[in-house]
Structure 1
Amino acid sequence: MSVALFTLGGTIAMAGASGGVVSRLTGADLTAAVPGLAEIPLDVRDVEAVPSAALTYGQILDLVDAAGAAVAGGATGVVVTQGTDTLEETAYLADLVWPHPAPLVLTGAMRNPTLAGPDGPANLLAAARVAAAPAARDLGVLVAFNDEIHAARFVRKTHSTSTATFASPNAGPLGHVIEGEVRLLTRPPRHAALPPVDAGRLAATRVALHTVTLDDDPELLSRLAGDRDGLVVAGFGVGHVPPAFAPVLEALAARMPVVLTSRTGSGSVLRHTYGAVGSETDLRRRGVIWGGLLDPYKAKVLLRLLLAAGAGPTEVAEAFARHG
């Protein structure tokens, strides 16, 4: 049984050029550069050689459909290579809709092939081993990087250049690849996949994200969310905003789902510990939805999918209670 490999470009597939490195390497080029990869039968499919900053929800959902077709055709698992800039978001988007027991594993690189010690070959080999491993089944979408295995719903890009950039601050890695062996240390329960979303409705659904800062201006928030279908707020600490934000968020929550998350990068927003104006207790009383452990970027992905599927405020709140 083979592993399907879909390539999307990014640092892992870059080659030198006069104006800087650009995506040029094909899947065949990538696999030829990896010692030990020949032991895993691969079905290589080049998709789009673009930076991950250029990817869209629609492209990722189309890729998930193609990956699902590969699994239905007999693939043991699927590997996707892409740029790391948006990998934490694309992995979570894929995880929300991936219904198959077979693993879908994303990977990439931080050092391009023109540099000393490029990490792409090792990451690709680890991802292929994870995708082929029986132990990785029923875990949903995974990220294999730096010989660590992370769940898509927990993983974050935590450093702009380090090869150890991907981490799961709230949970730690699910396992490791050690001497070529996939070692799983924990198996978190999966959430049921969300139903398919109409592409047209998804394209028409817009969600804003605002990160609260010191002495922030609530008028900016009103302008940002003015023509949007939903809003994610990345608040201070456990879910706090300046007092002047509270009535603005209350007015917005009366006409669209507004989700409260933390800008810190790890940890949960609270529900009912602090009671001042602009605290998490006050905001929930004003109709703002609790985002739990989801970081702002993942909350935005989940909210957009839910709204595109026609979910109302109650359904959105229930979904965040499950996923957050």
Structure 2
Amino acid sequence: MEEDKETGVVQPGEKNPLLKFIPDLEGDVDLIVEDVFHLPSPHMTPSEMLQLQVIIDERVKQDNIHGVVITHGTDTLEETAYFLDLTVQATIPIVVTGAMRSSNELGADGLYNFLSAVKVASCSEAAKKGVLVVLNDEIHCATNVTKTHTSNVATFQSPQYGPIGMVTKRGVVFHHALVHHETYSVNKVSKNVVVLKAYAGMDDTLLAAIENLPVDGIVIEALGQGNLPPRTLPSLERLINKGIPVVLVSRCFNGIVQDVYSYEGGGKQLKDMGIVFTYGLNAQKARIKLLVALENTTSHESIQNMFMHD
């Protein structure tokens, strides 16, 4: 991205500005550059994410590659990183990075983040940790990281968990281990999964409309530990009876959803209805996981099991 100095408008440049700095790489690193997409990140879809996954796994099989770095716009970076985390079969280091400031803006962070990402991708300790996100000297796992600020360079954080490592002047340091990681085979992304956010006084207007739309799954950002206003229940029950999976996350920044409250619309009733509970994913990542799940199964039990570990 480049900033127009007269208008302040930011737009994609003609070429990737990082390419001219490749000779500045430190250490014994041979870089193979492949310009797959030249898109603003709001233009990314699961179809492009799948193309990236296919390219990565094919290149790893064909070439002597020891690590992968993906540069990506920050708005949907976490979704692409998590999709790849769920679907890439290769176990070499895979790092996604980006920038919060345009390449020609004062204090641009893109080059520094790129060089940091290369350091991590060329580190043998970064293997078998799933997809990593590297910005601002921090290493995050794709499952937990999220964009928390619209413009701050320290926007990428892992609420509740923190980074799993850091990039220093002398190298790469990991201080947390990945507890759980599994991948799934996906040959296409053909389902339509929507996200709704719960709010005080919410009724079933939107859910009733969805009943008549070509929707294959729903993710709901619930209140608190996993509760919904009672007027949403009639449509929810009909959707579940039609075999449409409904996945619950919390609209809270920290914590997980649980079937604790037993009042009408409380988590216990929702769980008994067949709503799938997650264990820490945010809504955008739960949507990505449900998209992947629906390409593998339509079984409620299997989908629930897939969400037992985020």
Specify the TM-score bucket, using the shorter chain as the normaliser: over 0.9
Corresponding residue for residue 56 of structure 1:
45
1:59 offset after TM fit, Å?
1.0
- Where do 5+ consecutive residues of structure 1 fail to align? 1-10
Which residues in structure 2 correspond to 1:17-166 (within 5 Å)? 20-24=9-13, 26-27=15-16, 29-33=17-21, 36-39=24-27, 40-72=29-61, 73-166=63-156
Give the counterpart letter for 1:183 in structure 2: V
Contact preservation (8 Å) 2:3, 2:105: no
Contact preservation (8 Å) 2:203, 2:229: no
1:310 offset after TM fit, Å?
3.3
1:35 offset after TM fit, Å?
8.1
1:189 offset after TM fit, Å?
3.3
Cα displacement string for residues 158-208 of structure 1 (whole angstroms, at most 9, x for unaligned residues): 0000000000002110000011411000111342210123x3xx23x1111
Q: Distance in 1 between matches of 2:221 and 2:211?
A: 14
Which residues in structure 2 correspond to 1:1-324 (within 5 Å)? 11=1, 14=2, 16=4, 20-24=9-13, 26-27=15-16, 29-33=17-21, 36-39=24-27, 40-72=29-61, 73-197=63-187, 199=188, 202-203=189-190, 205-227=191-213, 228-255=215-242, 256-271=244-259, 273-323=260-310
Distance 1:214 1:237, change over 3 A: same
Q: Distance in 2 between matches of 1:68 and 1:77?
A: 11
Give the counterpart letter for 2:251 in structure 1: R
Cα displacement string for residues 102-144 of structure 1 (whole angstroms, at most 9, x for unaligned residues): 0110000001122210010110011000000011010010100
1:254 offset after TM fit, Å?
1.6
Q: Secondary structure at the match of 1:150?
A: strand
Q: Distance in 2 between matches of 1:226 and 1:158?
A: 34
Bigger mean CA offset, 67-76 vs 170-179? 67-76
Distance 1:151 1:98, change over 3 A: same
Q: Distance in 1 between matches of 2:70 and 2:18?
A: 12
Q: Distance in 2 between matches of 1:224 and 1:161?
A: 34
1:55 offset after TM fit, Å?
0.9
RMSD between superposed Cα atoms in Å: 1.8
Count of matched residue pairs = 305
Q: Distance in 2 between matches of 1:225 and 1:128?
A: 47
1:25 offset after TM fit, Å?
5.2
- TM-score, normalised via structure 1 length: 0.89
Cα displacement string for residues 221-244 of structure 1 (whole angstroms, at most 9, x for unaligned residues): 221353211111111111111111
Contact preservation (8 Å) 1:26, 1:46: no
Contact preservation (8 Å) 1:15, 1:25: no
Q: Secondary structure at the match of 1:44?
A: coil
